[in-house]
Amino acid sequence: MFCITRRGVETFYLIIFFTLFFLFERFTAQEKEIEAAKTAQYQSELKSLKAQIHPHFIFNTLNAIYSHAIVENLDSKFSNLIFQFSDILKYVVYEGQVKEVALSRELEIIESYITLQSFRHEEHVIVQYTSEITNNRLYIAPLLLITFIENAFKHTGNLTGEQHPITIEIREHSNVLHFYCKNPYTGKNDGILSSVRETESSENGIGLENTKKRLDILYPEKHHLHITKEASFFSVRLQIHLL
């Protein structure tokens, strides 16, 4: 008689979870390409990119997996990861299309993203995250900071050996947002970058360059972006006047 053990069920759900996470990263990458296509007015390319993936399929699958995880009484941490992943994806597809969102909501998504990536790279990455917001009525353009965090995980997650630290600090004082992200880096010492185009990865460089353009458009004369690449680390400092 064929019998599926509890461990087997958990393994199955983990496989599904990581598959969906891969689809999510592919989807967000396509969203960045769509944004670039909009900027360049490449309408034919835009239609093609939009047709490549339908988010409702992932939403429905996630809801089904989450329901099964509850029914099977699996580890609550795993169930929460599924819920957080679903929330992030919905945010990217729907709330991410509006001009501004509550800063508290943006930080909620960032924290969920950090939790998911920390789970995914738990063998090689340790995250030191702090946030301090004094004005809960502030708004910010959605998905503006997550590119820098994604970039940090991409580089650090590929490192081997002991756990490597990623430092993420998000603070607000007098309606000015202060963002800092630092991750290990192995490469040539280039000092302070004068342009985001000089990043070592073309894929990451495109994402960072698009974010820089968004900042220039959304917060002209109201932000300061400072990116540094040294022999052992890569860091981003960003200040945005939100009012």
Q: Specify whether 222 is located in the same domain as 140.
A: yes
DSSP string over 30-56: HHHHHHHHHHHT-HHHHHHHHTT--HH
| pLDDT score recorded for residue 170 | 98
In a domain, residue 45? The reply is yes
In a domain, residue 239? The reply is yes
pLDDT tens string 190-206? 444 444 434 444 455 66
- Close Cβ partners of 67 (under 8 Å, ≥ 6 residues apart): none
Q: Specify whether 203 is located in the same domain as 133.
A: yes
pLDDT tens string 144-179? 898 899 889 888 867 777 788 999 999 999 999 999
Residue with tokens 């340790």: 126
Higher per-residue pLDDT: 79 or 138: 138
Q: Specify whether 132 is located in the same domain as 240.
A: yes
Average pLDDT taken over every residue of the chain: 76
Alpha-carbon span 243 to 72, nearest angstrom: 48
In a domain, residue 117? The reply is no
In a domain, residue 102? The reply is no
- CB 180 within 8 Å of CB 167: yes
In a domain, residue 1? The reply is yes
Q: Specify whether 83 is located in the same domain as 197.
A: no
Tally the domains of the chain. Answer: 2
pLDDT tens string 202-242? 455 667 888 888 899 899 999 999 999 888 889 999 999 99
Q: Specify whether 67 is located in the same domain as 150.
A: no
Predicted TM-score (pTM) of this structure:
0.70
pLDDT tens string 97-124? 888 999 999 999 999 999 888 888 877 8
118 CB-contact burial (10 Å; exposed 0-12 / middle 13-18 / buried 19+) = middle
In a domain, residue 195? The reply is yes
- The range of the structural domain enclosing residue 52 comes to 1-93
Q: Specify whether 67 is located in the same domain as 133.
A: no
Fill in the DSSP letter of residue 195: -
